[in-house]
A and B are shown apart, each in its own frame.
Chain A
């Protein structure tokens, strides 16, 4: 059961924790702690939704405690919501958002291999076109071609919501086209 919960929630919890604390090692420790607490309270869990909520709530509290301890930490995240608003609804939104990013990320896997690779390199890992050319041994033209392919693929995927797509890809478009 614990194994299943980990499979279902590890990625999104790690992401969630990282939004508070920009330190992967600390985040991993906090997430491990949350699963340990889940194990301690396992008899009280009613369903998978309850488990997910418990994990997020526990992780959030641990993150806030950690930030409290290290007030001077430069890695404080001020993101979608104010940190001190700790109500359940925010936790619910955090969970939805993490799941949403997971779906979006999975969408990238549906791209053809080289296109996805180029997209990842430029978009997710911040490489410039020139660097990509050297890395995967291709020409600048190929890189531009792949990028436009990715764009049209995502445009298809996101179909009717062109404005959203534009917003989504705006920084990318301005930089590279």
Chain B
């Protein structure tokens, strides 16, 4: 397929008379491929409007200011892009107000906690669980599936694995599977890191990008990324710290460009250049959530790039398959799981309970309307379920464990 720029080149140099035989053939082929092409060519040859158009070109395009004009246009376009995002973003509140609110919240929380502590000491412990054995917390662990179907069970290791010349543990240990050395893995074949329920795993991809994959999730990625193309696919939840990469084969005259990193989830496409963000896209939950900690990401509906939204740090987008909603969130809550914590944030406790359910592989049920839980604070994930439930009860949250059809269920009462 010949592009307009090439055709223009051929015609121009045909007039100049310095085409090679090969190029002359190319031009003839184009002219013969469509009678209209020849008509156009002849019109061009006869047209005396050139001088006029040259004058127009001269007026519009000052060669000496070209890069400056290009830059101005780029700025203008980016302003339009920003302006489009503006209406969906929440109103900016002065930082001072946030500090004030945080201070007041902290005071309330302390007083509330002390009062609750005294009350529960007086009343004594309510029965937390009936006929349930204690459930141990999850731990690091995952399975790695190669393209040929080989499944490797990865050992529990908080530092995780690393894709490099070969696959190995970050601490230097080789993978236990011995026959891996004989298995030739092509660079671009997709590997799958599968993290079962009650597990999590950390992986460093071939470009240096670090990914923490949460319980019950799958990450599909190539052993080694292609030079200018980084794409992974996620089912479930993961936190990414994307390495900044710059293409070294920059086109003549152009600045070296950043190589984007794409995360595909069901229905959503996310593009970043190098930043930190969390994505939650479990297959059984309708909403895909993206929370940005640093840098910039663009999220769009898969197949509908016009429905795209640019996130700034501290913002979370929720995509229900149709539209994006953006709100300001506490990013610490979104990535608490990565640091081994459950993060309860008062009324927004639902998220924390969902995390809890996944981590101990138990069901969560709410009694009453909304789970309004007046508990602020973090609980470490490495505790047994009973200890976590006790901490919550001591803080005044009404909940109990029940055994239902071979599953443990955490019943939470709304206030």
Q: A-side interface residues toward B, CB under 8 Å? A: 1-4, 6-7, 10-11, 14-15, 18-19, 24, 27-28, 31-33, 35-36, 39-44, 48-49, 52, 79-80, 89, 92-93, 95-105, 108-109, 120, 123-126, 157-161, 164, 167-168, 170-172
- Given A18-B56, A40-B305, A105-B54; A96-B15 close (CB under 8 Å): no
Do B8 and A100 touch across chains, with their CB atoms under 8 A apart? yes
Which stretch from B40-48, B321-329, B389-397, B400-408 is at the chain A interface?
Answer: B40-48
A1 and B257 within 8 A (CB): yes
Selected contact of A167 from candidates B17, B46, B58, B66, CB within 8 Å: B46
Residues in chain A near residue B66, CB distance under 8 A: 11
Asked if B58 contacts A124 (CB within 8 A), the reply is yes
- Given contact pairs A92-B4, A103-B12, A159-B16, A15 touches B48 in the complex (Cβ within 8 A): no
Q: How many A-B residue pairs have CB under 8 A?
A: 152
A21 to B255, CA, bound (A): 33
- Judge whether A6 and B74 touch: CB under 8 Å: yes
Assess A2 versus B77: contact at CB under 8 Å? Given A19-B56, A104-B50, A120-B58: yes
B251 at the interface (CB under 8 A from A): yes
A167 to B15, CA, bound (A): 13
Closest to B62 in A: A11
CB distance from B84 to the nearest CB of A (A): 8
Q: Is the beta-carbon distance between B56 and A43 smaller than 8 angstroms?
A: no
Answer whether A164 and B77 are a contact pair too, CB < 8 Å, given A15-B60, A44-B305, A105-B57: no
Partner of A159 from the list B17, B36, B54, B69 (CB cut-off 8 Å) is B17
Q: How many residues of B contact A (CB 8 A)?
A: 56
A103 CA to B61 CA, complexed, in Å: 13
CB pair A39–B8 under 8 Å, yes or no, is: no
Secondary structure call for the A interface: helix
CB proximity to A under 8 Å, residues B5-23: 5, 7-9, 11-12, 15-18
Complexed CA–CA distance, A33 and B76 (Å): 9
Show 13 residue pairs from A and B whose CB-CB distance is below 8 angstroms, ordered by the A residue: A1-B257, A7-B70, A10-B73, A31-B73, A32-B73, A36-B77, A44-B305, A80-B43, A92-B4, A95-B4, A123-B54, A158-B16, A172-B51
Asked, given contacts A96-B8, A125-B55, whether A10 binds B70 with beta carbons under 8 Å apart, the answer is yes
Among B4, B7, B45, B48, point to the contact of A170 (Cβ < 8 A).
B48
Query: Quick check: B51 and A2 within 8 Å, CB to CB?
Result: no
User: CB < 8 Å: which of A36, A41, A168 contacts B305?
Assistant: A41
Q: Which of B11, B70, B81, B308 contacts A100 (CB 8 A)?
A: B11
Where the two chains meet, the residues of B that have a C-beta atom closer than 8 Å to any C-beta of A are 1, 3-5, 7-9, 11-12, 15-18, 34, 36, 40, 43-51, 53-61, 63, 66-67, 69-70, 73-74, 76-78, 80-81, 251, 253-255, 257, 269, 300, 305-306, 308
List the A side residues contacting B17 at CB < 8 Å. 158-161
Closest to B300 in A: A43
What are the 10 A-B residue pairs with the smallest beta carbon separation, nearest first?
A: A99-B8, A95-B4, A159-B17, A43-B305, A160-B17, A49-B3, A124-B58, A36-B80, A100-B8, A103-B12
- A37 CA / B43 CA spacing, docked (Å): 32
Does B305 contact A101, Cβ atoms closer than 8 Å?
no
B70 touches A157 (CB 8 A): no
- Contact flag A4-B257 (CB < 8 Å), given A11-B61, A49-B3: yes
Docked-complex contact A3 and B55, CB < 8 angstroms = no
Asked if residues B57 and A101 are in contact (CB atoms below 8 Å), the reply is yes
